[in-house]
Structure 1
Amino acid sequence: MLNIVLFGPPGAGKGTQSQKLITKYNLVHLSTGDLLRAQIAQGTELGLTAKKLMDEGLLVPDAVVIGMIDSALQANKATAGGFIFDGFPRTVPQAASLDQLLEQHDSGINCMIALEVDEEELVTRLLERGKTSGRPDDQDESKIRRRVTVYNTETAQVAGYYAAQNKFHALNGIGQIETIFDQICTIIDQNKPATPESPTEAAREVQA
């Protein structure tokens, strides 16, 4: 199973690349924000716990988020070729918890890919996006810069965690979409799990 952590600051093009990767590798996109909203909408025990905390203005604990990811893994692993983790992990403890969870599923993270774009380019992109997205945080330059700062702080910690495992890869997020996509695919293809040989292939090798 192929598992990718895809990181990128707001406006780096992560959403566009995720959709292309999902199609190419038959992956399931796991966004913690989407998972939270789905669990709350479905009224699950995890969703109700998360909603109660959010209504009180509290952060949802890592254990609850990990529980939601576990549910998503169980629901999709029979049909999916793997998963793209988007927006998670954001801290080293979260990365360690994710490793432990994937180990229970006889799997693990194959690579973390971070799209790097300088702050001024991000501000320009997001302000332009804000003209059509309707999102208030895409229309306020100070909020955009704050989001970028938070991302950079979080990524530095998690990048070091995966770098220690030789799984961290940084890519320039400025350029043609297809060029960046090809570069991401090269990294994935170099790090994805080996496909088990079919009996026919094994027989050919023996004969050779």
Structure 2
Amino acid sequence: MDATAKPLRIPPDMDIYAEKHEIFDLIHTLVRNLVVDKPADPIQYLIEMLKRENTEVPKIVLLGPPASGKSTIAKKLCEHTSAIHITASNILKDDSDLTRAAQEYTENNQEIPQELWIKLIQQRLSKVDCVRRGWVLDAIPKTREEALCLQEAGIAPEHVVMLQAPDAVLIERSLGKRIDPVTGDVYHLTFMWPDSLEVSQRLERPQGLISEEAIYHQVQAYHREAHGLQHTYESCLKIIDVDQPHVDVFAQVLTYILSRHHSAAPHTPRIILLGPPGSGKKLQARLLSDKYNLVNICCGELLKAVAADESSMGELINPFLESGRRVPDSMVLQILTERLSRLDCTMRGWILHGFPKDLDQAEALQETKFRPSRVFFLEMTDDVAVERLTLRAIDPVTGEGYHSLYKPAPSAEEHARLRYNPKNSETEVQNRLKDYWTHVSALQAFYPQAVQVNADQDPHTVFECLESRLVGRLPKVLTDRA
């Protein structure tokens, strides 16, 4: 940024840098923790937070009725995220004055006072392992009152998952539950039997197995508190039906806890649309541009505009365009970066289509300061692409576009004067498709976070798919914090 020039302008790479390193989210996390924890020395507190390898660790609450599979899901979550599995029993295993005081109540068959219980949870979550790696609270809290006390104590989860199932399913699961005495893992006679013969042979019935009537009363007791818990955590709650294969249940839970809540951080969309000829890139770019005021950049049209303005660069590329030869990548990239560096692209964001077409172009674009924040592949079969393109025609009088199947000319007179573009002949389309499929695998590998969208459907349905991924945040990437 040049402080001597007016008006002052933030360079376009500043926004990219801030998003890449999540500067705005980091500031949000620091300020939030500062307000919640209210440290005596705020500056030193912030310094210590910044010294951590990761300031955004998992903070998960897992709730559900008896036999809904909370412990199994919690263990698997901890394996995938390196978070610490926190249960009521392992909180009481700590050797401290608080735990000894709590154990006196349990030994006398008395309920631990809520104030003491909240302090115990605070004590456990303040340990180094939970601070650095995050935590999963298993069946904590049990009541709305307890949840509100945790919030007052500064314990606020980022994600709350509530498991649910019909009462009959829960009762059946309770009666068929089996425990591995070696690992403590929970299995079931019908729903989840171990693959290992050795494990299956050592499974035991849970100690103190209760009757069906007692299980029913436990489930009803949970239901009485569930509504209050839902209301308390409604802003970060996901309810998942567990009456399905446990693999599917865990996949849904993991997908949710890797999702990220809406951020108030400024975001300038930088979008690349890729796809075979006829997949609707130009239409979708226009729809997104119209709704979100993005700068719509079609690489082919941009080259034609530069060639027409009689500039030095236009004179260089004009022979290539007139002869139908491919413009050298270096020239295309120079023209493209100049366009992307203009103020409208910096302020409003942009959507690019027609570039890159191969891995070399993608790598060249990546080396510039103009990197996409979203990449979409519009997918369709060759048959559909051929049908879409070869049947297109234009009325030379009105300039209106028509299609023999989807949008036929309204009158015989207009139909008679339609003109078909030679570039849309079946032979030409097949050649363009062949060229696209030659490079698409390398492009998909280069953009691993790209989203594949089925383009063989109504254009507005495709637009909704693109829009949903545009406004939502990208999911977290798991890293080893152990």
TM range (shorter): 0.7 to 0.9
Shift in alpha-carbon separation, 1:97–1:133, aligned structure 2, 3 A: farther
Which residue number corresponds to residue 28 of structure 1? 295
Shift in alpha-carbon separation, 1:145–1:191, aligned structure 2, 3 A: farther
Of all paired residues, the percent bearing the same amino acid is: 28
Which residue number corresponds to residue 109 of structure 1? 372
| Gap runs ≥5 in structure 2 | 1-267, 394-403, 405-417, 475-482
Aligned: 1:188 with 2:470: yes
Indicate the SS of the match to 2:326. Answer: coil
Which residue number corresponds to residue 431 of structure 2? 146
Aligned: 1:6 with 2:291: no
| Gap runs ≥5 in structure 1 | 193-208
Worse overlay, 44-53 or 20-29: 44-53
Equivalent of residue 125 in structure 1, options 377, 388, 405: 388
Distance in 2 (alpha carbons) for counterparts of 1:124 and 1:54? 27
The alignment's TM-score, normalised by the length of structure 1, stands at 0.79
Which residue number corresponds to residue 205 of structure 1? none
Shift in alpha-carbon separation, 1:49–1:109, aligned structure 2, 3 A: same
User: Are the equivalent residues in 2 in contact too, given 1:8–1:114 (CA < 8 A)?
Assistant: yes
Indicate the SS of the match to 1:88. Answer: coil
Which residue number corresponds to residue 171 of structure 1? 453
The alignment's TM-score, normalised by the length of structure 2, stands at 0.36
User: Are the equivalent residues in 1 in contact too, given 2:294–2:345 (CA < 8 A)?
Assistant: no
Which residue number corresponds to residue 89 of structure 1? 356
Q: 1:92-122: CA deviations, max 9, x gaps?
A: 2211221222x2xxx5211210111111111
User: Are the equivalent residues in 1 in contact too, given 2:294–2:348 (CA < 8 A)?
Assistant: yes
Indicate the SS of the match to 1:85. Answer: strand
Distance in 2 (alpha carbons) for counterparts of 1:80 and 1:136? 39
Equivalent of residue 49 in structure 1, options 295, 298, 316: 316
Indicate the SS of the match to 1:109. Answer: coil
What number of residue pairs does the alignment pair up?
184
Distance in 1 (alpha carbons) for counterparts of 2:419 and 2:470? 31
- By relative contact order (CA 8 Å, sep 6+), the higher-ranking structure is 1
TM-superposed CA distance for 1:59, in Å, is 3.3
Distance in 2 (alpha carbons) for counterparts of 1:127 and 1:17? 20
Greater fraction helix: 1
Distance in 1 (alpha carbons) for counterparts of 2:437 and 2:420? 25
Distance in 2 (alpha carbons) for counterparts of 1:152 and 1:180? 21
Distance in 1 (alpha carbons) for counterparts of 2:388 and 2:322? 32
Runs of 4+, deviation exceeding 3 Å: 52-59, 76-80, 130-133
Distance in 1 (alpha carbons) for counterparts of 2:472 and 2:440? 23
Shift in alpha-carbon separation, 1:185–1:64, aligned structure 2, 3 A: same
Distance in 1 (alpha carbons) for counterparts of 2:281 and 2:345? 26
User: Are the equivalent residues in 1 in contact too, given 2:377–2:453 (CA < 8 A)?
Assistant: yes
Distance in 1 (alpha carbons) for counterparts of 2:391 and 2:438? 24
Indicate the SS of the match to 1:77. Answer: helix
Shift in alpha-carbon separation, 1:124–1:54, aligned structure 2, 3 A: closer
Q: Which has the larger radius of gyration?
A: 2
Aligned: 1:100 with 2:367: yes
TM-superposed CA distance for 1:80, in Å, is 4.7
TM-superposed CA distance for 1:175, in Å, is 1.4
Distance in 2 (alpha carbons) for counterparts of 1:15 and 1:64? 22
Give the RMSD, CA atoms, in angstroms.
Answer: 2.2
Which residue number corresponds to residue 197 of structure 1? none
Shift in alpha-carbon separation, 1:91–1:79, aligned structure 2, 3 A: closer
Q: 1:12-70: CA deviations, max 9, x gaps?
A: 12221111000122111222211111111111222112124556775322111111112
Distance in 2 (alpha carbons) for counterparts of 1:49 and 1:185? 38
Distance in 2 (alpha carbons) for counterparts of 1:174 and 1:98? 29
Shift in alpha-carbon separation, 1:53–1:9, aligned structure 2, 3 A: closer
